[in-house]
Structure 1
Amino acid sequence: MSRVAIFASGSGSNAENIVKYFKGRLKSKDFHFFTNSSKAYVNERAHKLDVKVTTFSRDEFYNSSKIIDILKDEKCELIILAGFLWLIPKELVANYKGRIINIHPALLPKFGGKGMYGKRIHEAVVAEKEKETGITIHYVDENYDEGKIIKQVKCEVLSSDTAEQVEKKIHALEYEYYPKVVEELLQI
C-alpha cells in the first residue's frame, strides 16, 4: 500500500475522521499529515493518532521541491486536502494530476474561490437565503475550487437555520462521505 498524504491548515477533524475510518484496514504509518501551521490542532491529532506530520513554511511550499520530494520518497498515492487553505502550486498539481482531491463545504460552483472557506461560506449561504447547500468533493487543479467534481451531496437549509446550524449539517456530510470517496479512489 502506498501512503496517503493529508494536508490541513487548522483543526484537522476531517483528517482524523479519515484515518479512523480506515482503522483495521490501513495503519497509521500509511498516512502522513502535512500542515502549514505549527500551531494548528491537526498537529495534536497527528500525535494522538501516531501519524507522521510535516510542517512547512510558505517559502518551502512555493519555492522549493521539499514537499514533492517527501511525497515521492514516501510513494504517496493520493493527496487529500482537508481544510487546507493555500492554493496548490502548479508543479505539485502537475506531479499529482488526478491524485489530489479537496472537499468544499458548499455546492460548487456556488460559494467557491479564494477566501471562501469555513464559516464564511455558511454565513453566505444563510445571507443568500439558499434552500439547499452541501458538500463538493473534487479534483484539484491550478485554481481554487474549479477542478472536476467527483461527488456532491446536498442538504436542506431551513429559513430558520443559522450559520452554525448549517455548519453542523455540513460537518455531518463531510464526515460521512469524504472517507467513502477516498476509499473508492484507493480501491480498498
Structure 2
Amino acid sequence: MKRIAILASGTGTNAERIVRYFQEKGTAEVAWIIASRASAGVIERAARLHVPCKVITPDGFASGEAFRFLKENEIDFIVLAGFLSRVPDEIVHAYPQKIVNIHPSLLPKFGGKGMYGMHVHEAVLAAGETESGITIQYVSEKYDEGAFILQAKCPVLSDDTPDTLAARVHELEYRYYPEVIEKLILGLSETKKQTVYDWLI
C-alpha cells in the first residue's frame, strides 16, 4: 500500500477530507501529516484522526530535514494541502510526478507567490471574473507552474463576497482532490497510465 505524506500550513480542512477518504477506501495510507508551523490547526486535526504529525519549519525544509524525514519514513507520494512554503528542489527531483498541489483558481490566472487562500478570491472578484474554480497540478520548482492534472470550474455570482466564493471553491476541492490523488496513486503501479488520464479528462 502506497504511503502518503500531507504537507499543510493552516487549519487542515482539505487534509482531513483526504485522510478520511483513504481511511474509508483503504487504497492508500496517509502515513504522516507534516505541518510547517507549530500553531497550525492541522496538528489538532491529525490528533483527532489518529494520524502522526510532525512539525518541520521552512528552515527545516531548506536544511534537508524534511527530505530525510520523507525518505526515512518510506513516503511514496506527497500531497500539498494548504502548504504555503516552497518545496525544495531536492524533494521535487526525488519525487517526479509524485507531488501534487491544489490551487483555488483556474491557473494560470491568480497564481504565484503570495496568491493563496482569501488573497486569491479577493483578486478574482476585483478582476470581475465570471468563473473561478480549482487547479490540481504536479509540483515543480516554481510556484503554481507545474503541469495541470485537473481543473474544475464554478460560477462567480454578482453578489459574491470572498467568503461565499471561497465556500463554492472549497466544495470543488473536497469533491475532486481525494479522488484525483487516489487515481494517481493507483496508476503508479500500472504499466500504462492512460486509464488515469482518461478519467481526469
What's the TM-score bracket when you normalise by the shorter of the two chains? Answer: over 0.9
Unaligned runs of 5+ in 1: none
CA deviations on 1:32-89 (whole Å, 9 max, x unpaired) are 10011111100000000000111012221102x2211221122211100000001111
Q: How does 1:82-161 map to 2 (within 5 A)?
A: 82-161=81-160
Q: Note if contact 1:28-1:51 (Cα within 8 Å) is conserved in structure 2.
A: no
- 1:28–1:96: structure 2 CA closer, same or farther, 3 Å change rule? closer
Q: Note if contact 1:2-1:75 (Cα within 8 Å) is conserved in structure 2.
A: no
Match of 2:73 in 1: 74
Q: Note if contact 1:29-1:52 (Cα within 8 Å) is conserved in structure 2.
A: no
Q: Secondary structure at the match of 2:6?
A: strand
Q: Structure 1: which amino acid aligns with 2:76?
A: E
Q: Structure 1: which amino acid aligns with 2:60?
A: E
Aligned equivalents of 1:41, 1:96: Cα separation in 2: 27
Q: Note if contact 1:28-1:49 (Cα within 8 Å) is conserved in structure 2.
A: no
Q: Secondary structure at the match of 1:144?
A: coil
Q: Secondary structure at the match of 2:111?
A: coil
Per-residue deviation, 1:28: 9.5
Match of 2:195 in 1: none
Match of 1:170 in 2: 169
- The number of residues matched between the two structures is 187
Q: Secondary structure at the match of 1:159?
A: coil
Q: Structure 2: which amino acid aligns with 1:5?
A: A
Q: Which runs of 4+ in 1 moved over 6 A?
A: none
Aligned equivalents of 2:131, 2:76: Cα separation in 1: 34
Please, what is the CA RMSD of the aligned residues? Answer: 1.5
Aligned equivalents of 1:39, 1:80: Cα separation in 2: 20
Moved more, 134-143 or 68-77: 68-77
Match of 2:35 in 1: 35
Per-residue deviation, 1:31: 2.4
Q: Structure 2: which amino acid aligns with 1:45?
A: R
Scaled by the length of structure 1, the TM-score of the pair is 0.95
Aligned equivalents of 1:20, 1:145: Cα separation in 2: 26
Moved more, 16-25 or 127-136: 16-25
Aligned equivalents of 1:86, 1:111: Cα separation in 2: 17
Moved more, 20-29 or 95-104: 20-29
Identity, % of aligned pairs? 48
- 1:187–1:27: structure 2 CA closer, same or farther, 3 Å change rule? closer
Match of 2:51 in 1: 51
Q: Note if contact 2:23-2:29 (Cα within 8 Å) is conserved in structure 1.
A: no
